[in-house]
Amino acid sequence: MPAELPQLSGVATKDLVETIGSGSFKASYINWSRTMELLRKNAPGWMVETVFNAEGGLLHSSPQGAYLLIRFRHVDGTCTSEVPQAVMDHRNNAIPYDKITARDITDTHRRGACLAAAMTFGLAYELWAKMPLESGYAGLQPEAPTVAAPPTTKKQSKPPAAKIETESESDTDSDASQKTEFVALATSMGLCDPAIEELMAKIKGDFSTGIKTLESKDQSFVSKMNEKFLAAQY
């Protein structure tokens, strides 16, 4: 008899949630490894499985870019329906097929496994649906935009008053967009939260330069930054 699908809504708890960014740009998430540990503990026998394409490869081509097909298989052979996960860059844009790297595939596999677990078993679906988790998860929701001043506040004190009146709104929007892009890029590279926060403090609101600097870094930079905080974080 086929194994029953486990119902894992309510399994994820507040203490597993991490945050990244600040103010209106704060985002809450559960690390992929913790999500998979929840699966192992609460749905024994179910494992993540990637569905190969007709040629035996991982990538399934699409009109723009590619995607992975991810499902779960029980030790008794029972399989769930496949869930597609697009291969995307840090801006959530599809990466052209011939530009996809091994790192893109591994990142996509981790994201897809978490998405499939939420869609199939309800595991940590509360995060995707922005619903409260156990013990007041609402306290980790994004703060109102007025709580943290945008990083352009100090910069705007230098230009003449007339320039502030005519350009402050567009400058703020631009910096906010660059901040979001900086955080997304750092996350996609694999930098841990404390490392990202340290980098944000160092660039002092100059997210344009920060983005260019990150794009020039390799994996050894990411490893060195993460090592500084690994012991304290875990």
In whole angstroms, give the CA distance from residue 38 to residue 92: 26
Establish how many alpha carbons lie within 13 A of residue 30's alpha carbon, considering only the half-sphere containing its beta carbon: 28
CA dist list (Å): 204 to 151, 189, 208: 8, 20, 11
Give residue 94's pLDDT: 94
Q: In the predicted model, is pLDDT for residue 69 greater than 90?
A: yes
In whole angstroms, give the CA distance from residue 141 to residue 26: 8
Q: In the predicted model, is pLDDT for residue 84 greater than 80?
A: yes
- Mean pLDDT for 123-137 is 69
Which of 25-34, 65-74, 177-186 tops mean pLDDT?
Answer: 65-74
Q: Are 88 and 108 in contact (CB under 8 A)?
A: yes
Q: In the predicted model, is pLDDT for residue 136 greater than 50?
A: no
Q: In the predicted model, is pLDDT for residue 165 greater than 60?
A: no
What residues contact residue 115 under an 8 Å CB cut-off, 6+ apart?
70, 83, 85, 128
- For residue 114, the 8-state DSSP code is H
> Where do the H-state alpha helices sit in the chain?
32-42, 102-121, 125-129, 161-189, 193-203, 207-215, 219-233
In whole angstroms, give the CA distance from residue 116 to residue 48: 9
- Mean pLDDT for 128-140 is 55
User: How long a stretch of residues is the chain?
Assistant: 234
> pLDDT higher for 3 or 48?
48
Domain residue limits, the chain: 16-131, 155-233
- Mean pLDDT for 213-227 is 81
pTM of this structure = 0.56
What residues contact residue 50 under an 8 Å CB cut-off, 6+ apart?
58, 68, 69, 70, 109
Q: Mean pLDDT for the chain?
A: 79
Give residue 178's pLDDT: 77
